[in-house]
Amino acid sequence: MPVALTFNFTRVVFSLAHVELSWITV
């Protein structure tokens, strides 16, 4: 399902962004 794929992709991007933010905060 394209919707599921899009949601998964968005979740991965959000996770990566969160990691980047954590690194910047540190």
Specify the pLDDT at position 23.
80
Neighbour tally for 22: CB within 10 Å = 9
Q: What is the pLDDT of residues 3-21, one digit of tens each?
A: 888 899 999 999 998 888 8
Q: Is the pLDDT of residue 24 over 80?
A: no
Specify the pLDDT at position 26.
66
How far apart are the C-alpha atoms of 22 and 2, rounded to whole Å? 30
Specify the pLDDT at position 1.
62
pTM of the model: 0.52
Specify the pLDDT at position 21.
80
